[in-house]
A and B are shown apart, each in its own frame.
Chain A
Amino acid sequence: MPKPVTIRDNPSSHHITLQVNGLETTLRVPPWVSLLDALRDHLDLTGTKKGCDHGQCGACTVICDGDRILSCLTLAVMKDGARVTTIEGIGTEDRLHPLQQAFIDYDAFQCGYCTPGQICSGVAMLDAGHGESREEVKDLMSGNLCRCGANTNIIDAIMAVKEGKYE
């Protein structure tokens, strides 16, 4: 559950409403605040990670109106009225999403920093029905870098869910 929003106000701030993980959230943000910084600094949803802030690593992936996008290359004001799902909304420690469980079982992470982005990306890909073969899944997941080198375990976890092993 997001904490109450505390915003350092600015005359050019805009009122926006985001549906974050199913919760209607109203913010006042200046236009130059990225969706990523709004989530992390303003809504205390720090599960979404900042790895490069330039759209080059995928750690900040969130699901916006059903599509996976990079929250670092999105201004919060552009998403007024949108539905945003972050890793906190995918599942909780008590009720893990199948892909989260698969990530644990397949040891699909080490340091854990790219993990929320990988999972949001994987969930959105599976929901969209994209990626028929393992080769295609690898291509469609290539927007999420993993520096620890958990690549094969990540793809194994996704394929396991895709193949119905977690139903």
Chain B
Amino acid sequence: MNEHEQIGQPRRRIEGARKVTGQAKYAAEYNVPDLLYGYIVNSTITRGRITAIDEAAARSVAGVVEIFHHERRSKLPGFDVIYSDMDAPPGSPFRPLYDANIRFNGQPIALVVAETFEAARYAASLLNIHYEEESFDVDLLTNLARARKPSKGLATLIKPLPPGPRGDFETAYAQADARFEGHFHHGSQHHNPLELFATTTVYEGDGKLTIYDKTQGTTNSQLYVSNLFGLSFRDVRVIAPFVGGGFGSGLRPQYQLVLCVMAALQLRRNVRVVMDRAQMFTFGHRPETIQHTRFGATADGKLTAINHVALAETSRFEDYNEVVVNHANMLYPADNVALDYKLVPLDRFTPLDMRAPGGSTGMLAIETTMDQLADQLGIDPLEFRLRNYAERDVSADKPYSSKELRECYRQGAERFGWSERKPTAEVNRRGNRLVGHGMSSGIWDVIALPGKASAEFTADGKLIVSSAVTDNGQGTYTVMTQIAADELGLPLEAVSFQYGDSRHPLSPIQGGSYTTAVIGSAIKAACRALRSKLFKLAQIMDGFPLGDALPEDVRFVDGAIVLKKDPFIRVSLTDVIAFNHGKSVTASKSNIPNIFRLKQYTRAAHAASFVEVEVDEQLGIINVTRAVTAVAAGAIMNPHTARSQILGGMVWGISMALHEETLLDVNLGKYINTDLGEYHLPVHADIHDLDVIFVEEHDDVINELGAKGIGEIGVISMAPAIVNAVYNATGKLVQVFPIKVGDLL
């Protein structure tokens, strides 16, 4: 057995059988005794205040127990800092049911609690709310003059604002041989995980709560609830073993959690609150963003000037920011660069990281602009990118910790058959359809955060590793089990990973593609500490079986400590435990990234997507017939689940380019397609051949696993490649996304 019996192997999901048989339980599925059901009521106005709430009709419904709203609620704290969760942007976080003020359409304003779900829902529809309406501004396009710099805070540390200007953009742009100016726009998009946001709160008595919550951070929900309701941190336990998708929507505690806990505490009962699908459109989302690009290049295809400006929506109370404009100069080493990123506060809820936040928006503009320049210059788009390949990140004047993008281009192009692409000017027809090929680069910054884990070797020969981290479907459960198994030389069956529970060691919220690196490294550290303890015990066992061996002289294989030079000399781990009087051995460890070392490098995952589209020549209907994405993201822990992550990202890219958009009615101040019938996610019939390549990439800087994370990188290069392919097929460049039926007529 080599040291990596598990890491890098295509293991099937450990929880697979539970998921395919319906045994995996999600937050709304704990049918605890004497459960009460809450239904949320939302504001139907966009801005103003509640003047009165008439409860009479609602209370007349049989089974109604209580109605909570700003005038009937438990005490809530009055300081912003108490409402700050682990992902709160700078500003003043929204406080559910706090006062009569309405700040956005769909604001939660009441909770009706009843003995049945149906009674709560019916009564909620009868709650009669009187408002005093004020005028509002929800329209980004007509409020661009109010754009301003984002406030700085913790969020801007992780998601840095654009670097200052380099060189002299205006002069260089004016002197460029080829220039392209783009104006890009996409509306808001909502995460819409298929599981509705839900919380089941079990009232344990003595101020203790067990909370089943849909979240991407059990610790985050635990902290938030404890702070809001003045509960002891230890008395609040948040559990989320199965989460039906998050995509960023669970990075902040959602309002159903607050309302559910409030009701449980007040009524001293078990309570469940589940959002409906329309309510899933009343909180964070990918922000509507307008982008302006101006890129200039020399006749021989050297990019000389980059100007990229993004203007995005935020709420009136928080400054949500994302990294939209920083990547062009990281990827392409032009010397004259001007970047800007600004926010426009509007009467809408604060945006929230949504799968590949910032990157998917910014790269859509950058990579479309690149193709337009290539087209002008008569250079193949891939060749144009190769001529501008950044061996070093000039935007930060740092080397890359590793960068196999060139290999992504090469392997992706070969698998796809890129050499057969025809120039846009040539018509490529297949039956009734025009065929187009497009490509795009992708980049995602590697985020390093501290994490913690514990490891225990038990008397019955099992390794238990623990972290509060969740698994929203990424495969964390399986991958962490693999990492732990390798570290102690055990088969997967001997390892149990306990997760999704705030009782376990603290984990950051699960997002930004960093979970494998952060929690995986912590598990490795904890397991190493455990190894060391087990080894020390083995050293002093009766008869000194390992002699004077030092830690580096042994390996952990097949549940035993084995001398490297003489594998016949071995001590089984269960014997070590027996020697320890049958007591299990535990170790807990934090993994703190070496920021000083990391800061010397630009650290990023890369990808390249190659896409074929067919566009019905007469009707303008687009199909992405095939696509290849080649990814360089360091070490891949589990190619089976990793491939699925990238495939999922590619589907998201298709959706961003061709399908999804939340429609905002600026007159009514609200989103109007707040259901899955009219918010179009792609269906099976839209998804054709998708292929994934993992390019080998070694990186010993980023973390000891050498893993960069793959949650976002699969999304980023896909949408621009589609837009470029549509251009290649039709000669038409669409800059308002998604591209819709009718845009190509």
Contact = CB atoms under 8 A, between A and B. Distances in A.
The answer to whether A and B touch directly, with their CB atoms under 8 angstroms apart, is yes
Contact of A111 (B20, B63, B473, B690): B473
Given A149-B652, A151-B647, 20 more contacts: A44-B31, A46-B25, A47-B23, A54-B677, A56-B676, A57-B194, A87-B22, A92-B21, A104-B13, A104-B20, A107-B640, A110-B473, A110-B474, A112-B24, A139-B685, A143-B683, A149-B647, A149-B649, A152-B647, A154-B684
A152 B473 contact: no
A120 B712 CA distance: 30
Contacts of B116: 8, 41
Interface in B640-659: 640-641, 643-645, 647-652
A100 B21 contact: yes
B195 interface: yes
Interface string A106-119: 01011111111001
Contacts of A112: 15, 18-20, 24, 242, 244, 473
B684 A141 contact: yes
A136 B307 CA distance: 47
A100 B651 CA distance: 23
A109 B472 CA distance: 11
B682 A151 contact: yes
Interface in A33-71: 33, 37, 40-41, 44-57, 59
B149 interface: no
B644 A110 contact: yes
A54 B399 CA distance: 52
Contacts of B31: 41, 44, 46
Interface in B239-259: 242-247
A91 B405 CA distance: 45
B415 to A, nearest CB: 16
B268 interface: no
Contacts, number: 187
B341 interface: no
A144 B247 CA distance: 19
Interface of A: 8, 10, 30, 32-33, 37, 40-41, 44-57, 59, 86-88, 90-93, 96, 100-101, 103-105, 107, 109-116, 119, 135, 137-139, 141-155
A112 to B, nearest CB: 3
B193 A147 contact: yes
Interface string B666-697: 00000000011100011111010110000000
Given A37-B117, A110-B644, A145-B681, A49 B23 contact: no
A20 B675 CA distance: 30
A93 B18 contact: yes
Contacts of B687: 138, 149, 151-152, 155
B690 A105 contact: no
A34 B690 CA distance: 38
A152 B647 CA distance: 8
B22 A116 contact: yes
A68 B560 CA distance: 52
Nearest to A30: B118
B475 interface: yes
B473 A47 contact: no
B21 A111 contact: no
A53 B277 contact: yes
B728 interface: no
Interface string B106-125: 00000000011110001000
Contacts of B683: 142-143, 145
A139 B474 CA distance: 27
13 contacts: A30-B118, A32-B118, A40-B29, A49-B194, A50-B196, A57-B194, A90-B21, A109-B473, A112-B244, A116-B20, A141-B684, A151-B647, A152-B689
Nearest to A157: B20
B283 interface: no
A145 B21 contact: no
Contacts of B176: none
Contacts of A100: 17, 20-21
Given A40-B29, A41-B117, A105-B12, A110 B651 contact: no
Contacts of A30: 118
B684 A144 contact: yes
Contacts of B192: 147
Nearest to B641: A107
B29 A86 contact: no
Contacts of B681: 145, 147
Contacts of A115: 19-20
Contact of A146 (B23, B194, B675): B194
Nearest to A151: B687
Interface string B377-420: 00000000000000000000000000000000000000000000
The 5 A-B pairs of least Cβ separation, nearest first, read: A47-B22, A113-B244, A149-B651, A111-B473, A149-B648
A144 B687 CA distance: 13
B22 A114 contact: no
Nearest to B689: A152
Centre residue among B118, B192, B472, B681 by max chain A CB count within 10 A: B118
B26 interface: yes
Contacts of B547: none
A25 B690 CA distance: 45
B28 interface: yes
Nearest to A119: B20
A109 B652 CA distance: 15
B690 A152 contact: yes
A55 B685 CA distance: 18
Contacts of B551: none
Contact of B62 (A10, A103, A139): A10
Interface in B1-60: 12-13, 15-26, 28-29, 31
B271 to A, nearest CB: 14
Contacts of B690: 152
A145 B194 contact: yes
B500 to A, nearest CB: 13
A12 B193 CA distance: 36
Contacts of B685: 135, 138-139, 142
A148 B643 contact: no
Contact of A151 (B115, B122, B651): B651
A49 B480 CA distance: 27
B196 A51 contact: yes
Nearest to A7: B116
Nearest to A86: B22
Contacts of A147: 192-194, 245, 247, 681
Contacts of B19: 109, 112, 115
A56 B677 contact: yes
A80 to B, nearest CB: 18
